[in-house]
A and B are shown apart, each in its own frame.
Chain A
Amino acid sequence: MNKVIRFLEELGESSALRLDKVDFESILNNEEFDEETKKAILNEDPAALKMLMDARHKIVCILIPAEPDEEEDDDDSEEDDSQNDEKTSRIAML
Protein backbone atom coordinates (compact mmCIF):
# COMPACT_ATOMS: atom_id res chain seq x y z
CA MET A 1 0.00 0.00 0.00
CA ASN A 2 1.14 3.52 -0.76
CA LYS A 3 2.75 4.86 2.43
CA VAL A 4 0.72 8.09 2.54
CA ILE A 5 -2.53 6.16 2.05
CA ARG A 6 -1.46 3.70 4.75
CA PHE A 7 -0.67 6.66 7.04
CA LEU A 8 -4.14 8.15 6.46
CA GLU A 9 -5.80 4.76 6.99
CA GLU A 10 -4.00 4.27 10.32
CA LEU A 11 -4.82 7.83 11.34
CA GLY A 12 -8.51 7.23 10.54
CA GLU A 13 -8.49 4.04 12.59
CA SER A 14 -6.83 5.73 15.57
CA SER A 15 -8.87 6.56 18.68
CA ALA A 16 -6.53 9.49 19.31
CA LEU A 17 -7.57 11.26 16.11
CA ARG A 18 -10.57 13.09 17.44
CA LEU A 19 -10.26 12.72 21.20
CA ASP A 20 -6.67 13.82 21.68
CA LYS A 21 -4.72 16.42 19.81
CA VAL A 22 -2.69 14.49 17.28
CA ASP A 23 0.91 15.63 17.25
CA PHE A 24 1.41 15.38 13.51
CA GLU A 25 4.91 16.79 13.75
CA SER A 26 6.28 14.00 15.92
CA ILE A 27 4.36 11.30 14.02
CA LEU A 28 5.66 12.59 10.72
CA ASN A 29 9.25 12.49 11.98
CA ASN A 30 8.96 8.71 11.87
CA GLU A 31 7.55 8.65 8.33
CA GLU A 32 9.64 8.65 5.19
CA PHE A 33 7.56 11.27 3.40
CA ASP A 34 8.97 14.03 1.27
CA GLU A 35 8.89 17.53 2.73
CA GLU A 36 5.97 18.68 0.57
CA THR A 37 3.83 15.78 1.75
CA LYS A 38 4.75 16.42 5.38
CA LYS A 39 3.87 20.09 4.93
CA ALA A 40 0.45 19.26 3.41
CA ILE A 41 -0.38 16.94 6.32
CA LEU A 42 0.91 19.40 8.94
CA ASN A 43 -1.17 22.18 7.39
CA GLU A 44 -4.14 19.77 7.20
CA ASP A 45 -4.41 20.73 3.56
CA PRO A 46 -6.28 18.00 1.63
CA ALA A 47 -6.10 19.91 -1.67
CA ALA A 48 -2.29 20.05 -1.57
CA LEU A 49 -2.10 16.40 -0.55
CA LYS A 50 -4.34 15.37 -3.44
CA MET A 51 -2.18 17.27 -5.87
CA LEU A 52 0.97 15.58 -4.56
CA MET A 53 -0.72 12.19 -4.71
CA ASP A 54 -1.90 12.82 -8.26
CA ALA A 55 -5.45 12.13 -7.08
CA ARG A 56 -8.52 13.16 -9.03
CA HIS A 57 -9.03 16.92 -8.80
CA LYS A 58 -12.83 16.86 -8.78
CA ILE A 59 -15.03 14.15 -7.44
CA VAL A 60 -18.81 14.11 -7.67
CA CYS A 61 -20.66 12.68 -4.72
CA ILE A 62 -24.31 12.87 -5.63
CA LEU A 63 -26.16 9.57 -5.75
CA ILE A 64 -29.82 10.43 -5.81
CA PRO A 65 -32.04 12.12 -8.35
CA ALA A 66 -34.49 14.71 -7.06
CA GLU A 67 -37.38 12.71 -8.44
CA PRO A 68 -38.28 9.07 -7.98
CA ASP A 69 -38.08 6.67 -10.89
CA GLU A 70 -41.03 7.43 -13.20
CA GLU A 71 -42.06 3.80 -13.61
CA GLU A 72 -41.92 3.21 -9.88
CA ASP A 73 -43.87 6.40 -9.29
CA ASP A 74 -46.68 5.19 -11.60
CA ASP A 75 -46.79 1.79 -9.93
CA ASP A 76 -47.11 3.35 -6.52
CA SER A 77 -49.59 6.06 -7.45
CA GLU A 78 -52.64 4.20 -6.20
CA GLU A 79 -50.99 3.34 -2.94
CA ASP A 80 -49.66 6.88 -2.61
CA ASP A 81 -53.14 8.31 -3.08
CA SER A 82 -54.55 6.15 -0.34
CA GLN A 83 -51.66 7.12 1.93
CA ASN A 84 -52.32 10.76 1.16
CA ASP A 85 -55.99 10.35 2.01
CA GLU A 86 -55.00 8.78 5.27
CA LYS A 87 -52.52 11.59 5.98
CA THR A 88 -55.07 14.27 5.15
CA SER A 89 -57.70 12.78 7.40
CA ARG A 90 -55.19 12.46 10.22
CA ILE A 91 -54.18 16.08 9.85
CA ALA A 92 -57.81 17.15 9.78
CA MET A 93 -58.41 15.25 13.01
CA LEU A 94 -55.58 17.10 14.75
Chain B
Amino acid sequence: MNQIGSYASVGIGMMLGAHITPAAKDHILNADVCFLAASDSLVELWIKELHPNVRSLQSYYASNKSRKDTYREMIEVVLSEVFAGKRVCGIFYGHPGVFAYAPHEIVKRIRAKGGKAIMEPGISAEDCLIADLGLDPGKYGCQQFEASQFLFYDRMIDPSATLILWQIALVGDLSFGCEATSSQCRQVLLEELYKIYPENHKVTLYEAMTLPIGEPRIDVIPLSSLVDVKLNDYTTLVVPPLSKMKRNIKIIEKLKRIHSK
Protein backbone atom coordinates (compact mmCIF):
# COMPACT_ATOMS: atom_id res chain seq x y z
CA MET B 1 0.00 0.00 0.00
CA ASN B 2 1.27 3.47 -0.84
CA GLN B 3 2.03 5.88 1.91
CA ILE B 4 -0.41 8.82 1.87
CA GLY B 5 1.09 11.87 0.18
CA SER B 6 0.44 15.42 1.23
CA TYR B 7 -1.88 18.15 0.08
CA ALA B 8 -2.17 21.94 0.10
CA SER B 9 -5.24 23.90 -1.01
CA VAL B 10 -3.85 27.26 -2.05
CA GLY B 11 -5.50 30.48 -3.15
CA ILE B 12 -3.95 32.51 -5.96
CA GLY B 13 -6.16 35.53 -5.40
CA MET B 14 -8.22 37.13 -8.11
CA MET B 15 -5.84 39.09 -10.31
CA LEU B 16 -3.10 37.54 -12.43
CA GLY B 17 0.28 38.35 -10.90
CA ALA B 18 -1.07 40.68 -8.23
CA HIS B 19 -2.37 38.47 -5.46
CA ILE B 20 -0.46 35.20 -5.30
CA THR B 21 1.40 34.82 -2.01
CA PRO B 22 5.01 33.59 -1.76
CA ALA B 23 3.76 30.57 0.22
CA ALA B 24 1.13 29.66 -2.39
CA LYS B 25 3.72 29.94 -5.16
CA ASP B 26 6.12 27.73 -3.23
CA HIS B 27 3.44 25.06 -2.75
CA ILE B 28 2.85 25.09 -6.51
CA LEU B 29 6.52 24.94 -7.41
CA ASN B 30 7.22 22.04 -5.04
CA ALA B 31 4.21 19.87 -5.84
CA ASP B 32 4.39 16.65 -7.86
CA VAL B 33 1.03 17.41 -9.41
CA CYS B 34 -1.25 20.46 -9.36
CA PHE B 35 -4.99 20.74 -9.95
CA LEU B 36 -6.31 24.13 -10.98
CA ALA B 37 -9.62 25.99 -10.76
CA ALA B 38 -8.93 29.43 -12.20
CA SER B 39 -11.30 32.36 -12.65
CA ASP B 40 -9.88 33.40 -16.01
CA SER B 41 -8.40 31.47 -18.91
CA LEU B 42 -5.31 33.68 -19.03
CA VAL B 43 -4.79 33.02 -15.31
CA GLU B 44 -4.99 29.34 -16.23
CA LEU B 45 -2.22 29.79 -18.83
CA TRP B 46 -0.14 31.72 -16.29
CA ILE B 47 -0.33 28.97 -13.66
CA LYS B 48 0.47 26.34 -16.28
CA GLU B 49 3.70 28.24 -16.93
CA LEU B 50 4.68 27.85 -13.27
CA HIS B 51 4.57 24.05 -13.14
CA PRO B 52 4.89 21.33 -15.80
CA ASN B 53 2.06 19.20 -14.39
CA VAL B 54 -0.98 21.44 -13.87
CA ARG B 55 -4.33 19.79 -14.60
CA SER B 56 -7.31 22.07 -15.08
CA LEU B 57 -10.51 21.17 -13.25
CA GLN B 58 -12.61 22.93 -15.90
CA SER B 59 -13.37 19.68 -17.72
CA TYR B 60 -15.51 18.50 -14.81
CA TYR B 61 -18.09 21.25 -15.42
CA ALA B 62 -20.71 20.55 -18.06
CA SER B 63 -24.11 21.76 -19.14
CA ASN B 64 -26.97 19.67 -17.77
CA LYS B 65 -24.70 18.22 -15.10
CA SER B 66 -25.20 18.87 -11.42
CA ARG B 67 -22.34 20.74 -9.83
CA LYS B 68 -22.66 18.31 -6.95
CA ASP B 69 -21.34 15.62 -9.34
CA THR B 70 -18.69 18.03 -10.61
CA TYR B 71 -17.39 18.70 -7.11
CA ARG B 72 -17.50 14.99 -6.21
CA GLU B 73 -15.37 14.16 -9.26
CA MET B 74 -12.94 16.99 -8.50
CA ILE B 75 -12.49 15.68 -4.97
CA GLU B 76 -11.97 12.09 -6.15
CA VAL B 77 -9.34 12.94 -8.75
CA VAL B 78 -7.33 15.01 -6.27
CA LEU B 79 -7.62 12.37 -3.53
CA SER B 80 -6.49 9.61 -5.90
CA GLU B 81 -3.14 11.37 -6.39
CA VAL B 82 -2.70 12.11 -2.68
CA PHE B 83 -3.50 8.49 -1.75
CA ALA B 84 -1.01 7.37 -4.44
CA GLY B 85 1.66 9.04 -2.32
CA LYS B 86 2.07 12.28 -4.28
CA ARG B 87 2.64 15.79 -3.00
CA VAL B 88 -0.43 17.52 -4.43
CA CYS B 89 -1.40 21.16 -4.72
CA GLY B 90 -5.01 22.24 -5.30
CA ILE B 91 -4.88 25.73 -6.82
CA PHE B 92 -8.06 27.78 -6.53
CA TYR B 93 -8.91 31.33 -7.54
CA GLY B 94 -9.47 33.72 -4.67
CA HIS B 95 -9.33 32.10 -1.25
CA PRO B 96 -9.61 28.30 -1.40
CA GLY B 97 -11.87 28.23 1.63
CA VAL B 98 -14.32 31.01 0.78
CA PHE B 99 -17.49 29.90 -1.00
CA ALA B 100 -15.64 26.78 -2.09
CA TYR B 101 -16.77 23.26 -1.22
CA ALA B 102 -14.17 20.93 -2.75
CA PRO B 103 -11.03 22.48 -1.21
CA HIS B 104 -12.41 22.11 2.33
CA GLU B 105 -13.68 18.61 1.65
CA ILE B 106 -10.34 17.42 0.25
CA VAL B 107 -8.46 18.69 3.31
CA LYS B 108 -11.02 17.10 5.64
CA ARG B 109 -10.89 13.68 3.95
CA ILE B 110 -7.09 13.51 3.87
CA ARG B 111 -6.87 14.42 7.54
CA ALA B 112 -9.49 11.79 8.35
CA LYS B 113 -7.17 9.18 6.80
CA GLY B 114 -4.25 10.46 8.85
CA GLY B 115 -2.63 12.37 5.99
CA LYS B 116 -1.13 15.83 6.05
CA ALA B 117 -3.30 18.50 4.43
CA ILE B 118 -3.34 22.26 4.82
CA MET B 119 -5.11 25.30 3.42
CA GLU B 120 -3.17 28.38 2.43
CA PRO B 121 -5.35 31.52 2.35
CA GLY B 122 -5.62 33.80 -0.64
CA ILE B 123 -7.18 37.14 -1.57
CA SER B 124 -10.85 36.42 -2.15
CA ALA B 125 -13.42 38.16 -4.34
CA GLU B 126 -14.85 39.51 -1.09
CA ASP B 127 -11.49 41.09 -0.27
CA CYS B 128 -11.44 42.79 -3.69
CA LEU B 129 -15.04 43.91 -3.25
CA ILE B 130 -14.24 45.49 0.11
CA ALA B 131 -11.32 47.40 -1.42
CA ASP B 132 -13.00 48.42 -4.68
CA LEU B 133 -16.33 49.48 -3.17
CA GLY B 134 -14.81 51.03 -0.03
CA LEU B 135 -17.08 48.81 2.02
CA ASP B 136 -16.06 47.97 5.58
CA PRO B 137 -18.04 44.89 6.70
CA GLY B 138 -17.52 45.99 10.30
CA LYS B 139 -19.22 49.36 9.87
CA TYR B 140 -22.83 48.19 9.82
CA GLY B 141 -22.26 44.43 9.90
CA CYS B 142 -22.46 42.25 6.82
CA GLN B 143 -24.52 39.19 5.96
CA GLN B 144 -23.66 37.15 2.92
CA PHE B 145 -25.18 34.14 1.25
CA GLU B 146 -24.92 32.08 -1.87
CA ALA B 147 -27.88 33.52 -3.81
CA SER B 148 -29.79 30.26 -4.32
CA GLN B 149 -29.23 29.18 -0.74
CA PHE B 150 -30.72 32.52 0.27
CA LEU B 151 -33.92 31.49 -1.52
CA PHE B 152 -33.97 27.81 -0.54
CA TYR B 153 -33.85 28.44 3.20
CA ASP B 154 -35.65 30.79 5.56
CA ARG B 155 -33.31 33.61 6.38
CA MET B 156 -33.64 36.48 8.78
CA ILE B 157 -32.28 39.56 7.05
CA ASP B 158 -31.17 42.54 9.07
CA PRO B 159 -31.95 45.59 6.90
CA SER B 160 -29.52 47.72 8.92
CA ALA B 161 -26.57 45.61 7.74
CA THR B 162 -25.08 45.12 4.28
CA LEU B 163 -26.34 42.10 2.35
CA ILE B 164 -24.09 40.37 -0.19
CA LEU B 165 -25.43 37.66 -2.51
CA TRP B 166 -22.90 35.54 -4.41
CA GLN B 167 -23.46 33.62 -7.64
CA ILE B 168 -26.45 35.80 -8.40
CA ALA B 169 -26.57 34.67 -12.06
CA LEU B 170 -27.41 31.13 -10.93
CA VAL B 171 -30.07 32.13 -8.45
CA GLY B 172 -32.89 29.65 -8.02
CA ASP B 173 -31.23 26.80 -9.92
CA LEU B 174 -32.62 23.63 -8.37
CA SER B 175 -30.49 21.43 -10.65
CA PHE B 176 -27.22 22.99 -9.42
CA GLY B 177 -26.01 23.45 -12.99
CA CYS B 178 -23.51 26.00 -14.19
CA GLU B 179 -25.65 28.02 -16.59
CA ALA B 180 -27.32 31.33 -15.79
CA THR B 181 -30.95 30.96 -14.70
CA SER B 182 -33.92 32.74 -16.25
CA SER B 183 -35.29 36.18 -15.46
CA GLN B 184 -38.22 34.39 -13.78
CA CYS B 185 -35.84 33.03 -11.15
CA ARG B 186 -34.44 36.50 -10.62
CA GLN B 187 -38.00 37.73 -10.24
CA VAL B 188 -38.52 35.24 -7.40
CA LEU B 189 -35.42 36.64 -5.73
CA LEU B 190 -36.72 40.16 -6.20
CA GLU B 191 -40.03 39.24 -4.62
CA GLU B 192 -38.12 38.06 -1.55
CA LEU B 193 -35.98 41.17 -1.45
CA TYR B 194 -39.03 43.44 -1.92
CA LYS B 195 -40.31 42.13 1.43
CA ILE B 196 -37.51 44.21 2.93
CA TYR B 197 -36.18 46.68 0.36
CA PRO B 198 -38.07 49.10 -1.92
CA GLU B 199 -37.88 48.59 -5.69
CA ASN B 200 -35.77 51.73 -6.12
CA HIS B 201 -33.20 50.71 -3.48
CA LYS B 202 -29.79 51.25 -5.08
CA VAL B 203 -27.73 48.06 -5.28
CA THR B 204 -24.32 47.32 -6.78
CA LEU B 205 -23.30 44.63 -9.23
CA TYR B 206 -19.67 43.80 -8.69
CA GLU B 207 -17.06 41.78 -10.58
CA ALA B 208 -13.45 41.71 -9.40
CA MET B 209 -10.61 42.23 -11.87
CA THR B 210 -8.94 38.98 -12.89
CA LEU B 211 -6.45 40.60 -15.29
CA PRO B 212 -4.32 43.71 -14.87
CA ILE B 213 -6.11 45.29 -17.83
CA GLY B 214 -9.61 46.71 -17.65
CA GLU B 215 -11.56 47.74 -14.59
CA PRO B 216 -13.69 45.98 -11.98
CA ARG B 217 -17.41 46.00 -12.72
CA ILE B 218 -19.18 48.39 -10.36
CA ASP B 219 -22.69 49.03 -11.66
CA VAL B 220 -25.09 50.83 -9.36
CA ILE B 221 -28.68 50.07 -10.34
CA PRO B 222 -32.13 50.21 -8.74
CA LEU B 223 -33.07 46.81 -7.34
CA SER B 224 -35.92 46.49 -9.84
CA SER B 225 -33.43 46.54 -12.77
CA LEU B 226 -31.81 43.33 -11.59
CA VAL B 227 -34.15 41.29 -13.73
CA ASP B 228 -32.89 42.83 -17.01
CA VAL B 229 -29.15 43.25 -16.56
CA LYS B 230 -26.42 40.98 -17.89
CA LEU B 231 -25.03 38.78 -15.16
CA ASN B 232 -22.00 36.51 -15.22
CA ASP B 233 -21.38 33.54 -12.94
CA TYR B 234 -18.87 35.74 -11.10
CA THR B 235 -21.21 38.72 -10.62
CA THR B 236 -21.99 39.60 -7.01
CA LEU B 237 -24.94 41.62 -5.73
CA VAL B 238 -24.30 44.09 -2.92
CA VAL B 239 -27.34 45.49 -1.14
CA PRO B 240 -26.49 48.39 1.16
CA PRO B 241 -28.33 48.87 4.46
CA LEU B 242 -31.83 50.28 4.22
CA SER B 243 -32.27 51.48 7.75
CA LYS B 244 -30.09 52.78 10.55
CA MET B 245 -28.87 50.44 13.27
CA LYS B 246 -31.15 50.59 16.31
CA ARG B 247 -29.40 50.85 19.64
CA ASN B 248 -30.30 48.13 22.12
CA ILE B 249 -31.01 50.35 25.11
CA LYS B 250 -31.84 47.42 27.43
CA ILE B 251 -28.45 45.81 26.86
CA ILE B 252 -26.57 49.09 27.11
CA GLU B 253 -28.28 49.86 30.44
CA LYS B 254 -27.46 46.38 31.70
CA LEU B 255 -23.79 46.86 30.74
CA LYS B 256 -23.72 50.28 32.38
CA ARG B 257 -24.92 48.72 35.61
CA ILE B 258 -22.11 46.12 35.39
CA HIS B 259 -19.47 48.77 34.75
CA SER B 260 -20.70 51.05 37.52
CA LYS B 261 -20.18 48.34 40.16
Which A residues form the contact surface with B (CB < 8 A)?
Answer: 1-2, 5, 8-14, 17, 41, 44-46, 49-50, 53, 55-57, 59-67, 69, 91, 94
Contact B148 A66 (CB under 8 A): yes
B38 CB to closest chain A CB, in angstroms?
7
Which of B15, B41, B45, B213 gathers the greatest number of chain A CB atoms within 10 Å?
A: B213
14 additional contacts (CB under 8 A) given A61-B233, A65-B71, A69-B105: A8-B17, A12-B15, A12-B19, A41-B213, A55-B41, A56-B44, A56-B58, A57-B41, A59-B39, A59-B41, A66-B146, A66-B147, A66-B170, A66-B173
Give the 10 A-B CB pairs with smallest separation, nearest first.
Answer: A12-B17, A66-B148, A55-B41, A56-B41, A9-B17, A12-B18, A63-B100, A11-B212, A61-B39, A12-B212
Instruction: List CB contacts (< 8 Å) of B15-42 with chain A.
Output: 15-19, 37-42
Contact B101 A65 (CB under 8 A): yes
Please report the C-alpha to C-alpha distance between residue A58 and residue B146 in the assembled complex, in whole angstroms.
Answer: 22
B90 CB to closest chain A CB, in angstroms?
11
B21 CB to closest chain A CB, in angstroms?
12
Contacts of A65 in B (CB 8 A): 67-68, 71, 101, 176
Please report the C-alpha to C-alpha distance between residue A20 and residue B61 in the assembled complex, in whole angstroms.
Answer: 39
Any A CB within 8 A of the CB of B183: no
Any A CB within 8 A of the CB of B194: no
Contacts of A13 in B (CB 8 A): 17-18
Query: What are 20 pairs between A and B in contact, CB < 8 Å?
Result: A2-B45, A5-B42, A8-B46, A9-B17, A11-B17, A17-B18, A44-B213, A44-B215, A49-B211, A50-B42, A55-B42, A55-B45, A59-B39, A59-B41, A63-B103, A64-B146, A65-B68, A65-B71, A65-B101, A67-B149
Contacts of A55 in B (CB 8 A): 41-42, 44-45
B49 CB to closest chain A CB, in angstroms?
5
Contact A63 B102 (CB under 8 A): yes
Instruction: List CB contacts (< 8 Å) of B61-111 with chain A.
Output: 61, 67-68, 71, 92-93, 99-103, 105
Contacts of A66 in B (CB 8 A): 146-149, 152, 167, 170, 173, 176
B interface residues, how many (CB within 8 angstroms): 49
Q: How many A-B residue pairs have CB under 8 A?
A: 116
- B179 — nearest CB in chain A belongs to which residue? A60
Out of A41, A60, A63, A94, name the residue touching B101 (CB < 8 Å): A63
Any A CB within 8 A of the CB of B227: no
Contacts of B176 in A (CB 8 A): 65-67
Instruction: List CB contacts (< 8 Å) of B143-157 with chain A.
Output: 146-149, 152, 156
Any A CB within 8 A of the CB of B214: yes
Contact A62 B58 (CB under 8 A): no
Contact B46 A5 (CB under 8 A): yes
Contact B41 A50 (CB under 8 A): yes
Out of A5, A17, A46, A62, name the residue touching B45 (CB < 8 Å): A5
Contact B92 A62 (CB under 8 A): no
Contacts of A8 in B (CB 8 A): 16-17, 42, 46, 211-213
Q: Mark B134-146, 1 if CB is under 8 A from A, else 0.
A: 0000000000001
Contacts of B92 in A (CB 8 A): 63
